[in-house]
Amino acid sequence: MNLAEYLDFTTQIAYEAGRITLGYFDTGLQADYKQDQTPVTAADRAAEEFIRSQIEKTYPRDAIVGEEFGESSHPGNPNRWIIDPIDGTKSFVRGVPLYAVLIGLEIESRIKVGSVYFPALDMMLSAAEGTGAWCNGRRVHVSQVDRLDQACICYTSVQHLIDRNPGIWNQLSRSVYMTRGWSDAYGFFAVATGRAEACLDPEMKIWDCGPFPVILREAGGFFGSWKGAEGHMYGEALACSQLLKQKLIDLLRE
- Per-residue pLDDT tens for 151-175? 999 998 899 899 988 888 889 999 9
C-alpha to C-alpha distance for 254 and 248, rounded to whole angstroms: 10
Region for residue 54 given its phi and psi (left: phi exceeds 0; alpha: psi -120 to 50; beta: otherwise): alpha
Last residue of a domain, one of 89, 113, 139: 139
Weakly modelled stretches of the chain, pLDDT under 50: none
Mark whether 59 and 170 lie in a shared domain: no
Q: How many domains does the chain fold into?
A: 2
Mark whether 130 and 156 lie in a shared domain: no
- Which of 218, 219, 222, 221 is CA-nearest to residue 232? 222
Given this model, what pLDDT does residue 254 score?
66
Q: Which residues pair with 139 in a beta bridge?
A: 134
179-208 residue pLDDT tens: 999 888 999 999 999 999 999 999 999 999
Mark whether 216 and 152 lie in a shared domain: yes
Given this model, what pLDDT does residue 150 score?
98
Range of the domain at 225: 148-253
C-alpha to C-alpha distance for 234 and 228, rounded to whole angstroms: 10
Mark whether 100 and 158 lie in a shared domain: no
Mark whether 29 and 134 lie in a shared domain: yes
Mark whether 128 and 154 lie in a shared domain: no
For residue 243, the domain's CATH number is 3.40.190.80
Mark whether 131 and 182 lie in a shared domain: no
Given this model, what pLDDT does residue 187 score?
97
Mark whether 175 and 127 lie in a shared domain: no
Mark whether 125 and 211 lie in a shared domain: no
In this structure, the number of other CB atoms found within 10 A of the CB of residue 217 comes to: 22
Mark whether 26 and 85 lie in a shared domain: yes
Mark whether 153 and 101 lie in a shared domain: no
For residue 109, the domain's CATH number is 3.30.540.10
Last residue of a domain, one of 77, 104, 139: 139
Given this model, what pLDDT does residue 183 score?
82
